Chain A
Amino acid sequence: MYEYGTAPEHLGALAISQRKHAMRNPRAMMKSELTMDDYFSSRMITDPFRLFDCTLENDGGAALIITSLGRANDLKQKPAVIAGVSQGGDGAWGNQLRDQNAPAELYATAGHGVIAKNLYAMAGIAAADVDVAQIYDHFTGMVLLQLEDYGLCGRGESGPFVTKGSTTWPDGPVPVNTHGGNLSEVNLHGTTHLIEGVRQIRGTSTSQVENAEVCLVTGGPSPLPSSSMILTRA
């Protein structure tokens, strides 16, 4: 926020965007409309994060079945292909969330730069090919930083990118957290991000991106290593 002028309104815009997606999702915990007034009226937790910048806390269960494409093709449900995975992180970012000691050039990042690079290389795609993204959202700010690390917008540009609706279904070019995410659907530690990624590829999301072929799913930027995935159609 100090370096790029990212503002509370930008964080609020992301929370509101994800709530819009949650309102369409019958599984979501948070189904009432969230306005910018609601956002700014909510209590401050730790500046700049207000209540609606922070993840829900839930109990619950989720599961995925991972098998060979040959077997998956024989099953009733349309498969999503794991086209790329990457685990790691920008080493010196390290324990940034705890120790606040990342070098200056990595300080205002999510530490996912090398994960993004390796992930796109393995999947044989570029950031511009991503149709929809499920981005781990313990806090709004960490989503904004990941949008930049994964090249979905330029460095320092995530605030205006979100505010102009780029991450909001149906008109945004890269709808983000189309299930509502940890902020508004449920917090099951990223498993529902994977499941929503599969839904988008199958065409069964409640906020379905038309002709979605490539879905990015990221893991949380907490102490590294973290990991992320690209899902595509078979």
Chain B
Amino acid sequence: MTPTPYLPAEMARVDSDDTNRGFYDACRAHQLTIQHCRQCGQFQHPPRALCSKCHSFDLEWAPVSGGGTVFSYTIVHHPIGPVADRVPYNIVTVELEGTGGARLISNVIDASPDEVEIGMPVEVSWDDVAGELTLPRFVRAGH
């Protein structure tokens, strides 16, 4: 069985800053939001100070469904640091539906290494890691 949580709380984490705070604040409320450009309509992730396509600063946090498909993935076998007892674990790139192709790097927490595949439908599953950090992870859709 997959351990709970999927990866330990002691892993290195991303500190929130002015650019990504909106994303992490929404995560704490279990709402997946993706940065959306009000000028050209691009969705982009990870968050940036300006739109990578039209360079506008006019960005907003757009709620998305949390559904998507696995665009690509790897299985990590190298046991290192706090994840040494969790190998092999997956890292997936999820293409989020309703975003025109924006991708989020995460894990599918209910799939064994040989079950992960490109094109697999997934949906968000919230991981209240520790303190103020909540991360979007994914489970197989319909399972």
Contact = CB atoms under 8 A, between A and B. Distances in A.
B and A form one assembly: yes
Interface in A61-78: none
Interface residues of B, number: 19
Interface in A44-91: 44-48
B105 A99 contact: yes
A94 interface: yes
Contacts of A2: 72, 118
Interface in B89-103: 93, 101-103
B54 interface: no
Q: How large is the interface on A (under 10, 10 to 19, 20 to 34, 35 or more residues)?
A: 10 to 19
B72 A47 contact: no
B101 A44 contact: no
User: Which of A45, A99, A101 counts the most chain B CB atoms within 10 A?
Assistant: A101
Nearest to A48: B74
A53 to B, nearest CB: 12
Nearest to A101: B103
Interface stretch (B18-26, B75-83, B123-131): B75-83
Nearest to A104: B101
B45 interface: yes
Nearest to B102: A101
Contacts of B74: 46-48
A54 to B, nearest CB: 9
A100 interface: yes
Contacts of A94: 52
Contacts of B118: 2
A46 B105 contact: no
Nearest to A47: B75
B93 A44 contact: no
A164 interface: no
Interface in A96-151: 99-101, 103-104, 107
Given A99-B46, A100-B72, A100-B103, A45 B93 contact: no
A42 to B, nearest CB: 11
Interface string A1-36: 010000000000000000000000000000000000
Contact of B75 (A43, A46, A99, A101): A46
Interface of A: 2, 43-48, 92, 94, 99-101, 103-104, 107
| 6 tightest A-B CB contacts, nearest first | A44-B77, A47-B75, A100-B93, A45-B78, A46-B76, A46-B74
Given A44-B78, A100-B103, 16 more contacts: A2-B118, A43-B77, A44-B77, A44-B88, A46-B74, A46-B77, A47-B75, A47-B77, A94-B52, A99-B45, A99-B46, A99-B103, A99-B105, A100-B72, A100-B93, A101-B103
